[in-house]
Structure 1
Amino acid sequence: MDSCPWVLNKANLAKFHEEEWGHPVHDDNKLFEFLSLSVLAAGLSYETVLDKRDDLRLAFHDFEIDEVAQMSTEEVEELLSDKRMIRNKRKISAVVCNARVSREMRANGQTLDDFLWSYTGFRTIDNKWLHAEMIPEQTLLSRKISDEMHERGFVMVGPVLIYSFLETVGIVNDHLIDCQARIS
């Protein structure tokens, strides 16, 4: 096997898998971008979100937390009529809400990076799965982080979405053991 089976020989998924997925991320705006993409992808394929990623970056001010946190109701409404967007008011509103919570955390002295990585002692959990069927949809860790995020005011951050997000930002390494993109 050359890569994880979810790549499915799709160019944009392969590039994402090899260059980004599972690479440890510590930049708050990049963490926020991946959290937002996860929210926007809920119920869709991640490929759909990757196809729209450039347009999403434009619409959400390159996922700069402070910029997104200042988005108005009118801006959200405009995005709902833009055919380039994932036109789901709940998801778009969640991105804005999550930016506001992230900004508030930072104002209180805690970065998104510190918050998320503190759960693992600032180290990647390096799983050694042989088969994709072995990878869980959620874990005790993703449930714990999801609960804490909900308590802080984040929305649309259930434990399954959070587990996928943790894989994406390298907090959890779920590349299969024989994957060429495996980060050790």
Structure 2
Amino acid sequence: MRPLSILMIGLAMSTDAFAAAVGKGAAMQRPGIGLALRTGLLFGVIEGITPVIGWLLGIAAARYITAWDHWIAFGLLVLLGLHMIWHGIHPDDDEDGGNPARRHGFWSMALLALGTSIDAMAVGVSLAFLDAPIAVVALVIGLCTMVMVTIGILLGRVFGALVGRRAELAGGIVMIVIGAAILHEHLGGAA
């Protein structure tokens, strides 16, 4: 596998996470560079691990993973999107006592990162059947995602200042659209 091909895979795998990061950054209370970097690192690590998991699973049972990956990604992203929309419509009804930082905490972000990285797992499955250096591919995917998510959070900050408190509503819609696009692509829409 050529270095340019590996880079293109890394960039392609990071686009969903970038879009999600813009939505999340818009919903946050003015995220700084530190939070953007931590979020980018979290997404990068998860996005870098999933192709390795896919590669390992691909060796054992490729047809089962590729048959369900799009449904898993769709379900996670729709649930996250609906949750964000709920909080965008009902910002004062938070179970966390009105603390918006809790909705953007570690577990919420990790679940979002997992939802956007299911396609990277499918790439890992396909790489199991090629003579591809999985460690290098996973590292490139992780690094591309880290950079793209960090930029996405910071761009979301700008958009959040422009659209106000209802930015989380828009972010939720973005999550659902990403999930629907993944499902559409895998069910033959891209054919």
Q: TM-score, normalised by structure 2?
A: 0.29
Higher relative contact order (CA 8 A, sep 6+): 2
Higher helix share: 2
